[in-house]
Amino acid sequence: MLINNISELIGNTPILRISSEISGLKNIELYAKLENLNPFGSVKDRTAYHMLKYDVDQIQHERRTVIETSSGNTAKALVCLCNIHNIPFKTVTNRIKVSESRNILKFLGAQIEEVTKDVDTVEKILQEIKEEPDKYYHTTQYTNSRNIDAHYITGKEIYEDIGEIDYFFGVLGTSGSSRGMSMYLKEKNQQLTTIGIVTAKDSYIPGIRSATEMKEVGIYKNSNYDQILEVSGVAAKHYMKKLSRELGVLAGPSSGASFCGAVEYLRRIDNECKPGTKAVFVVCDRLETYANYIKDNRFSKYHVCGNTYIVIDPADNQIRLSEGAIKKLCDKDLGIGADGIIFGPFVSNGRYTFRAFNSDGTEANSAFFGAMIFARYLIDKEILKLKNFTVYIGAMELNISLDDRDQIDVKLRCDEPCNLGEIEIGKRLATFVTTGNNNLVFEHRAPSKELVEKINQEVILSNLFSSGINIQAVKVIDQSHIYVESFERGSGYTVSSGTGIMSACYAFKERLSEKITIHTPGGICEVTQQNWCIKGSVFKILEGEIDLESFPEI
């Protein structure tokens, strides 16, 4: 087949019959519309093409830049089409969660303006157009009727291939594709049942919105769907795997969600349906873009003031955190390297709980910096979209507030620490403070790593704390500033400790002001005495996949 332009390959995608052995359906024939076989890899190729094709000559003539808000597939298709016509393309987005999408867009030459989660990207684009009205052409995918028109044609293709459809399943992003296809199919069969598929509120599936987020999309109307189904990220991955391994369809997670929603819905009604009932779901895009998303044993690593934690989410992992596994994962030479591990979230009755483990494999009763990292992880993964919430570790309740700027600074508020009196260790006087974790706080004119390690040896020789205790060596610089060196019972020397810092402030509270700046070898944070709040910046260091073959202890 000879073509003159790559856009000639957009559309006319094949449709695949799913065998009953795989679908588990007796009376319903299930089909997959393979939109992943469009030239740029997704159902959005049609959207991009139809939004541009009528105006491309004018855009080119006026030397405008095409601008859109997109997290991946629409932007990818638009930049490819723009490149063909030598037109610049820019995306303004706060929804790129898959690193491959960002890398592909950069490779293709897209200008990427990433903004924070609290920014309305459409409003941001409109403001930029207002400032430079002759510079941009806005494709407006969320409200553009051409988005729907493009997929009305897709619906026609489905009908021409297999006739009348009884059930149609479409995932909801902008909702243009599902609306366009179902419009045509409904014209041919007024009894068509249209099912919209969204991501479960506690999950993240690239390319799909939650039911709450659909309110932000101008094209979307709830009345266009007979039912809205929620699919979890775990279920989407499972069915994505079935498509790839059992059918040879290299499909992305939104396709897995579509397949999952279709199979689970249809199995419930299969016995009630007549033989020959037909259902269609859409394979939206390709597998390759989601190499990081589909990793089974994923981890993230964060730090606050240099205090590092590996976050392991049980939803993404089937690993067993034995003492040996924790030690090796936290080892800086043999593993990932960290002060400890955050394991969670565990969600029950709206409570987001985590467990914290020290690098020696023991479990911590409390972890202030760990809680701040856990909170940042919940936001990064869009498990929570709140600015104020509570997290739990054991019986401890910790209140979290996020900075409006970039949701990087996290404030943690805890119950007031408790002073358990003074203790003499090796002729040194310490204040015994508990913040969930027990701490000995020593004042010294020159705190150092060597000093806290020496004090730890003195604690061991004293036989007062058989299982060890956290040690803080503190220099009070002035009433608003202190310097802290830390030694943690389960991790050894560390450049900072959240519970240690809070204990240090409490031990010298009468000599310190309301707001205290804490200096540590790992960075600076702030404590407020009035509500015992600690504020620090949380940074994501890396994410990756744990190679289980390298960790037989797991």
Which pLDDT score, from 0 to 100, does residue 408 have? Answer: 58
Cis peptide before 345 (omega within 30 of 0): yes
- 70-118: pLDDT as tens digits: 878 999 999 999 999 999 999 999 877 777 888 899 999 999 998 877 7
Please give the Cα distance from 41 to 208 (Å, whole number): 16
Torsion of CA 332, 335, 341, 347, to 10 degrees: 150
Q: Where in the chain is the domain with CATH 3.10.310.10?
A: 298-404+542-550, 418-531
Q: Is the predicted pLDDT of residue 404 greater than 60, yes or no?
A: no
| CATH T-level fold of 44-138 | Rossmann fold (3.40.50)
**CATH 3.40.50.1100 given to domain 7-41+145-290:** yes
Question: DSSP 3-state assignment of 389?
Answer: strand
Which pLDDT score, from 0 to 100, does residue 554 have? Answer: 67
Which pLDDT score, from 0 to 100, does residue 444 have? Answer: 96
- 220-260: pLDDT as tens digits: 888 889 999 999 888 998 999 999 999 999 999 999 999 99
Which pLDDT score, from 0 to 100, does residue 470 have? Answer: 95
Which pLDDT score, from 0 to 100, does residue 407 have? Answer: 42
Alpha carbon of residue 274 to chain centroid: 42
Among 349, 402, 395, smallest CA distance to 374 is for: 402
What's the CATH superfamily of 418-531?
Answer: Diaminopimelate Epimerase; Chain A, domain 1 (3.10.310.10)
CA atoms within 13 A on the CB side of 130: 6
Average pLDDT estimate for 518-530? 94
Contact between 301 and 312 under an 8 Å Cβ cutoff? The reply is no
Q: Where in the chain is the domain with CATH 3.40.50.1100?
A: 7-41+145-290, 44-138
Q: What is the mean pLDDT of the chain?
A: 91
Please give the Cα distance from 282 to 46 (Å, whole number): 14
Pairing of strands 298-304, 533-545: antiparallel
Please give the Cα distance from 518 to 481 (Å, whole number): 6
Contact between 389 and 352 under an 8 Å Cβ cutoff? The reply is yes
Please give the Cα distance from 257 to 263 (Å, whole number): 10
Which pLDDT score, from 0 to 100, does residue 202 have? Answer: 66
Query: Dihedrals φ, ψ of 264, to 5°?
Result: -70, -35
Return the CATH architecture of domain 298-404+542-550. Answer: Roll (3.10)
Contact between 317 and 551 under an 8 Å Cβ cutoff? The reply is no
Q: What is the pTM of this model?
A: 0.69
